[in-house]
A and B are shown apart, each in its own frame.
Chain A
Amino acid sequence: DAKTTQPNSMESNEEEPVHLPCNHSTISGTDYIHWYRQLPSQGPEYVIHGLTSNVNNRMASLAIAEDRKSSTLILHRATLRDAAVYYCILRLTYGGSQGNLIFGKGTKLSVKP
């Protein structure tokens, strides 16, 4: 499976936008880019995913570079509840995938009031 690289930690101020980067230079054409987050003492939860085009949902936006070698998760207005570890994960669409997620260490986001 292709690997991802993320900064260990980032800080943000409450109500400001946050841009969480992810590098995935060995991504293949069939890999979807998924983001999950893990709030303190909870299991991971899905945030967003995309393939080539930028994506928006109620939680966040995902900006994907044209060459797909990097992506950025955007939280438009960080709240204290967004303090979590954010994981960038590549998922195969089908064929040989056993469905599990391969987690790195992620980026620990701290939000200051």
Chain B
Amino acid sequence: NAGVTQTPKFQVLKTGQSMTLQCAQDMNHNSMYWYRQDPGMGLRLIYYSASEGTTDKGEVPNGYNVSRLNKREFSLRLESAAPSQTSVYFCASIIMTGTSGLNEQFFGPGTRLTVL
């Protein structure tokens, strides 16, 4: 299993440009997440998808949109990039069950985005 994969690994954008970050998991997980991590900080939730066909806002959703394309894939789109969106973006997935406090969340390797 590849686990959680993310593309691209690195990206530089100019202010106002748009791009989509891709995430895929091959573990048949139902829930997927996008986090961002700023220097010296912990991760913060941007959006999540509890199951295929549903998406919800997290702590810091402004400036982003998401699409849960199918069970495997969850993409994050920046419509008009701003320097404040310079960060490392992590995708994660988990099986959510009635005892989900017991389940391990798996993370991708991250996308390092710089907006000039």
Chains A and B form a bound pair: yes
Enumerate chain A interface residues (CB-CB to B < 8 A). Answer: 30-32, 36, 41-46, 49, 87, 91-94, 97-106
Q: Which 6 A-B pairs have the closest CB atoms?
A: A103-B42, A43-B107, A93-B101, A32-B101, A46-B104, A91-B101
Q: How far is the CA of A106 from the CA of B43 in the complex (A)?
A: 10
- Beyond A99-B33, A104-B42, whether A42 also contacts B100 by CB under 8 A is no
Q: Is the interface of A mostly helix, strand, loop or mixed?
A: loop
Further 18 A-B residue pairs, CB within 8 A, beyond A46-B106, A91-B101, A99-B100: A30-B101, A36-B105, A41-B110, A43-B107, A43-B108, A43-B109, A43-B110, A93-B100, A98-B48, A100-B33, A100-B45, A100-B48, A100-B58, A102-B45, A103-B35, A103-B42, A105-B42, A106-B42
Enumerate chain B interface residues (CB-CB to A < 8 A). Answer: 4, 31, 33, 35, 40-45, 48, 50, 56, 58, 90, 92, 94, 96-102, 104-110
Q: Is the interface of B mostly helix, strand, loop or mixed?
A: mixed
Q: How far is the CA of A87 from the CA of B105 in the complex (A)?
A: 13
Q: How far is the CB of A53 from chain B (nearest CB, A)?
A: 14
- Measured between beta carbons, the chain B residues less than 8 angstroms from A87 are 42
Looking at B42, B50, B58, B100, the one whose CB has the most chain A CB atoms below 10 A away is: B42
- Measured between beta carbons, the chain B residues less than 8 angstroms from A102 are 45
- Measured between beta carbons, the chain A residues less than 8 angstroms from B94 are 99
Q: How far is the CA of A74 from the CA of B101 in the complex (A)?
A: 21
Q: List 11 A-B contacts (CB under 8 A).
A: A36-B105, A42-B109, A45-B107, A46-B105, A94-B98, A94-B100, A99-B48, A101-B105, A102-B45, A103-B42, A105-B42
